[in-house]
């Protein structure tokens, strides 16, 4: 999967994360022998970053399929929540009768918990998109990867009022065998995509719509964004894409777990 998205957005997220949570030196760690995530009494670890309740593990391979079968389609929305764009995306989805999967950045979820709760209340699903959206995290230590995943899980779950993310999407597709195993052990199915609209780059509405139409045969999971800048093109593209998909006989669902 191609790594993408604007450098300035990543810098802002990383800066926010540094002010909220300890980094790799004090990270949560994966205890392979026990098959559970643990955060020992090291300096810098938040007392809340201890996701030790029992959860059911899910498959470790990256999900692409839809729970609606061969004619299913999964709309996924990344990088929010955002106070300007997420409410507009939610309203559009509600008007269209479509449920989606929101891949949330931990610092954003922590900053806008009411929006996280609104996403859940509208029947959408949550996905862990790490604390700071570091697209190079596949080059970092396992301790760092653990911190990014487990702290984001905690942030999103707290912001939602107790609803845990059901998926894990690595920023820019920067999965590792370790991060997939850790996420799956926490009940978060690793989640990929089949159609990248490249809406983050604002290529134009017609280009984004054409991408979906030409690439949906590659698989059901479509990638959009509700944060990281002006998302007006995303909204305009969704207004065209959603009814077109329905006209083609597709049913909107969620990624398999």
| Residues annotated catalytic, as ranges | 78, 225
What is the H or E stretch that residue 78 is in? strand 72-78
Rounded to a whole number of angstroms, the CA Rg of the chain reads 17
Rounded CA-CA distance 215/172 in Å is: 19
d(CA 199, CA 30): 35
Provide the token pair at 7.
Answer: 């450098």
Helices 142-160 and 113-121: crossing angle in degrees, nearest 10, is: 70
For the record, the structure tokens of 221 come out as 């999971």
Other Cβ atoms within 10 Å of 192 Cβ, number: 19
Q: Please, how many CA atoms are within 13 Å of residue 76, restricted to the half-sphere of its CB?
A: 32
């Amino acid at each position: 999967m191609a790594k993408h998205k604007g450098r300035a957005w990543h810098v802002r997220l990383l800066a926010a994360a540094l002010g909220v949570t300890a980094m790799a030196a004090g990270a949560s760690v994966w205890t392979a022998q026990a098959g559970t995530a643990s955060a020992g009494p090291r300096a810098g670890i938040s007392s809340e970053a201890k996701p030790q309740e029992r959860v059911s593990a899910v498959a470790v391979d990256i999900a692409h399929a839809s729970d609606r079968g061969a004619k299913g389609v999964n709309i996924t929305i990344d990088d929010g929540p955002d106070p300007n764009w997420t409410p507009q995306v939610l309203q559009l989805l509600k008007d269209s009768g479509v449920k989606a999967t929101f891949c949330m950045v931990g610092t954003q979820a922590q900053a806008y918990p009411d929006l996280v709760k609104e996403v859940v209340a509208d029947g959408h699903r949550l996905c862990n998109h790490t604390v700071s959206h570091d697209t190079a995290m596949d080059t970092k230590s396992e301790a760092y990867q653990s911190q990014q995943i487990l702290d984001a899980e905690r942030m999103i779950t707290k912001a939602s009022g107790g609803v845990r993310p059901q998926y894990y999407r690595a920023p820019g597709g920067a999965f590792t065998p370790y991060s997939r195993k850790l996420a799956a052990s926490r009940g978060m199915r690793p989640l990929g995509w089949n159609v990248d609209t490249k809406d983050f780059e604002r290529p134009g509405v017609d280009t984004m719509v054409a991408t979906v139409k030409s690439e949906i045969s590659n698989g059901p999971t479509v990638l959009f964004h509700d944060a990281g800048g002006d998302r007006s093109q995303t909204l305009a593209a969704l207004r065209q894409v959603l009814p077109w998909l329905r006209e083609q006989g597709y049913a909107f669902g969620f990624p398999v777990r």
